[in-house]
A and B are shown apart, each in its own frame.
Chain A
């Protein structure tokens, strides 16, 4: 179990309990966090689960692989700390993770 905080673009915060083995995207979806669409269901080919990993956490998460990187390039409002949340596995070490969400996943 790990607590993850999602912050919508307008500042609204959502604290969720994520299960180990889930992806960060799944944790958001099963808690109905708005702002993540996840059209492909976690296969790194839709870029609608895009989020910004808080700087403090970036080094604690394995870097994106080539498929994820290619797909991040397709997302809107990309920043240096952009990730596909479906590609980040929840581990106890991620307890307290903060993920900010873009204004929109689709434009």
Chain B
């Protein structure tokens, strides 16, 4: 994860042609903070398909689906192996070198074939077949949360529903104490925030690692029916994961499970709050939900990802140099007209795969759980909550960075 210093390079590298330079700060761009997904669309319309931004140490930004797929499918040239928690192991400009090796996030920070060995133990417990066993628990949690707000006729969708639901579920799944929900959610937000300084980010990761280490140690003593226990017994090339690797797994699961679904749910509900007709359609025919969820996932991609270029390479006509950093803006690729005709429109039944979960070896491992959480949530919410809309008094607030996010979403119904 890049340290979003916000700093601008004062010299564009020699191999970058001036016509490919486009100034875009993925954390602080004012238009991004006004409406993140409208900004994603505008990048497709206004910026070159692959451009170089001098912000945040200077890096390439790729916004088109075809180029992103080609890059993610070619991990030999575009590596993930430099990703460590909290910051990149080395900044593009080479100015900032961290002497302390950061924590590898697993399996994200490994390239194939190592990646396959690390990923295999997660595939089974997170498969569509396995997560189906969680459906009843998710339904119960959803209804408990709805019970708390229904009579009031209003809620802040973030703090009342979107945060507690996936966070509670994830902590249960991973075997972490659910009574520390607020603390965990705060830490997850801090950890992925685009604008905290390097030192506080490091401190946040230390605290997260500390909590996770406690859980891992407890499970080492006594296995439970949870993911951490399952991973402790996993076979990585003929041995069990080391303590360090266990930390790497759990920190990646922590960030993946606590940040992304919260935001995907919130953007989706915001869309419904602004489209009464769609709400009515889905209420009348819940069998439309799976398709609607995919389309909401397309319209509101959350996470972006980064690759390091391992050798000089021409990609879709652009010369990359070894060592360059390439940001893949997955939420922008979902607005690429070449892949999605009329990309701003909500269209049920699109055939083309969206990029929200990425492609290639690093495709999101939690996607089955995310889809299930969303399906159950929308079923219950639309069944029980009357037509809802945005609170006209309070505007939602957005956050940029690697994860696009909303920090508050006041809703009202009568």
Contact = CB atoms under 8 A, between A and B. Distances in A.
B124 A73 contact: yes
A71 B122 CA distance: 10
Interface stretch (A3-11, A14-22, A40-48, A56-64): A40-48
B120 A43 contact: no
Contact of A40 (B124, B127, B130, B359): B359
B120 A70 contact: yes
B353 interface: yes
Interface in A54-98: 66-67, 70-71, 73-74, 76
Tell me if A's interface is mostly helix, strand, loop or mixed. Answer: loop
A13 interface: no
Nearest to B130: A74
B109 to A, nearest CB: 16
Contacts of B72: 41
A106 interface: yes
Contacts, number: 50
A46 B357 CA distance: 12
B129 to A, nearest CB: 6
A47 B119 contact: no
A40 B130 CA distance: 19
B120 A40 contact: no
A66 B360 CA distance: 19
Given A39-B353, A41-B73, A67-B120, A107 B359 contact: no
Nearest to B365: A45
Contacts of B120: 66-67, 70-71
Bin the interface of chain B by size. Answer: 20 to 34
B363 interface: yes
B360 A41 contact: yes
Interface string B112-132: 100010011001100111100
Interface residues of A, number: 18
A47 B117 CA distance: 16
A74 B123 contact: yes
Nearest to B125: A74
B241 interface: no
Interface in B80-121: 112, 116, 119-120
A43 B123 contact: no
Contacts of B116: 43-45, 67
Contacts of A67: 116, 120
Contacts of A71: 120, 123
Given A67-B116, A73-B124, A74-B129, 13 more contacts: A39-B353, A39-B363, A40-B360, A40-B361, A43-B112, A43-B363, A44-B116, A45-B365, A46-B363, A74-B127, A74-B130, A76-B128, A106-B128
**Which 4 residue pairs across A and B have the least CB separation, nearest first?**
A74-B127, A43-B361, A40-B363, A41-B359
21 contacts: A40-B360, A41-B69, A41-B72, A41-B73, A41-B360, A42-B73, A43-B363, A45-B116, A45-B365, A47-B127, A66-B120, A67-B116, A67-B120, A70-B124, A71-B123, A73-B127, A74-B124, A74-B127, A74-B130, A76-B129, A106-B128
